[in-house]
Amino acid sequence: MKHRPLMKDVLKIIWFYVCIWLVIVFILSSLSSFIKPASFSFISLSGLAFPYLLVIFFVFIIINFFVRKRLAYFMMIFLPLAYFNTVSTFALRPAKAWQTKKDSLALRIMTWNVQSFVNYLYHEQTSSDYHTTKEDMLSLIHRYDPDVLCFQEYKNIENAKRRRSIKEQLDSLGYKYYFCSNDKNGNLPKNQNVTIENGVAIFSKLSLLDSGRININHSDRIENLIYADVLLNNKPIRIYTAHLQSFTIYTDTAQKNQDRNIYEITYHRRISAQFKIRETEVKHQEEVAIIRKAIDSTRHPVIYCGDLNTTPTSYNYRFLKGNNLQDAFIKKGSGIGNTFYKLGPTLRIDVCLADTALQVLQCKRDKKKLSDHYPVITDVKWK
């Protein structure tokens, strides 16, 4: 009979220490936006886990109201620390229908990591007709009819006999103006007349007043920030786009693990994956510093669109956003709005950050699984 009270006491002690451990982890994840990855790289992991930790933290508080009420009140003291990460992660409003017809004074901009237009280079022949995901992607672009397109992981092939170039097809849709970072150019080994260009690109129906590139990664992974100036109602605005360094967690295992899904690979490689996430977030800090410096030196209001490869709970997101940019999805979107769907429902890593001189009219993430990223479409106009 004495064993039962003793076991109960042991369980209470274990529960208490589990709650204290959860409080410590929750504090770290809540402060992830304010701690530089270069100072404490583990903060990147806790930031990624924030949406899940927030839910677990609330569940533990509710349980403690029935188990240990004082502990519940103690845990509630730390909830305000989660304010910034919460308002950066969740757009707390019901979803609204997308207005297809654009305001006559508005600029519609789409940002999309197009994953090299997926099977644009490698295709299968079906009834002598080469159908590629590229065609579906172009159809989606045509349906939304944005004024400006910002592409990441862009690929274009010129002079191929059976592949129509992206530039040519977008030109036929009205995108006459174009600028590409040309990170990696080359030719097909079997046909030197066929040229391939890669990187990030801006396509526009509005004429480009100016354009340029700024290198943000000086390693062997050449990546650039690019910009283009356009007139919005006779006032210049500068549009930036970039692709921050990828985590490359699976690049060395893709061929070896073709029969295993991405979740299995992630579990079995969790230690090396954690290291790569921490290492890459430090690299992101360097890249974001260059981008922020470029934005700060710009005379015109700006819009930054791109694949951050990091979530809104990171220091790098907060630093890039600064005080003069607003997250279009948080302003007008709904829910979490994940844009990379292959590793869970919380990875909103593609953003449109609009200058505070602009009013965000609407913002939508289209959940069409064409690339491994969803496109984000935003309408803005001058305040």
Q: How far apart are CA 28 and CA 23, in angstroms?
A: 9
Question: Of 273, 149, 138, 133, which is closest to residue 202 (Cα–Cα)?
Answer: 149
Question: Is the pLDDT at 378 greater than 90, yes or no?
Answer: yes
Question: Of 53, 55, 52, 65, which is closest to residue 21 (Cα–Cα)?
Answer: 53
Say if 213 falls within a structural domain.
yes
Q: How far apart are CA 225 and CA 244, in angstroms?
A: 9
Say if 99 falls within a structural domain.
no
Taken in order 252, 370, 95, 241, the sign of the CA dihedral is positive
Say if 94 falls within a structural domain.
no
pLDDT at 356: 97
How does pLDDT run across 56-89, given as a tens digit for each residue?
999 999 999 999 999 999 999 999 999 999 999 9
Are both 126 and 231 inside the same structural domain?
yes
Residue type, 183: D
The three-point CA angle 229-137-368 to 5° equals 110
How does pLDDT run across 31-44, given as a tens digit for each residue?
999 999 988 878 88
Question: Is the pLDDT at 218 greater than 80, yes or no?
Answer: no
Say if 98 falls within a structural domain.
no
Are both 129 and 44 inside the same structural domain?
no
Q: Final residue of a domain: which of 27, 59, 89? A: 89
Are both 71 and 126 inside the same structural domain?
no
Say if 140 falls within a structural domain.
yes
Mean of the per-residue pLDDT values of the chain: 87
Split into its structural domains, the chain has a count of 2
Q: Final residue of a domain: which of 56, 89, 122? A: 89
Question: Of 144, 181, 150, which is closest to residue 307 (Cα–Cα)?
Answer: 150
Are both 362 and 262 inside the same structural domain?
yes
What phi and psi, each to the nearest 5 degrees, are found at residue 179?
Answer: -150, 135
Say if 97 falls within a structural domain.
no
Q: Final residue of a domain: which of 31, 61, 89? A: 89
Residue 162 is part of a domain; what is its CATH number?
3.60.10.10
Are both 167 and 284 inside the same structural domain?
yes
Are both 182 and 281 inside the same structural domain?
yes
Say if 116 falls within a structural domain.
yes
Are both 261 and 135 inside the same structural domain?
yes
Are both 132 and 214 inside the same structural domain?
yes
Average pLDDT over residues 224-245: 96
Are both 243 and 186 inside the same structural domain?
yes
pLDDT band at 372 (very low <50, low <70, confident <90, very high): very high
Are both 237 and 345 inside the same structural domain?
yes
The three-point CA angle 376-358-202 to 5° equals 45
Residue range(s) defining the domain that contains residue 57: 3-89
Cβ-contact 319, 292 below 8 angstroms: yes
Three-state DSSP class for 382?
Answer: strand
Are both 83 and 197 inside the same structural domain?
no
Are both 228 and 291 inside the same structural domain?
yes
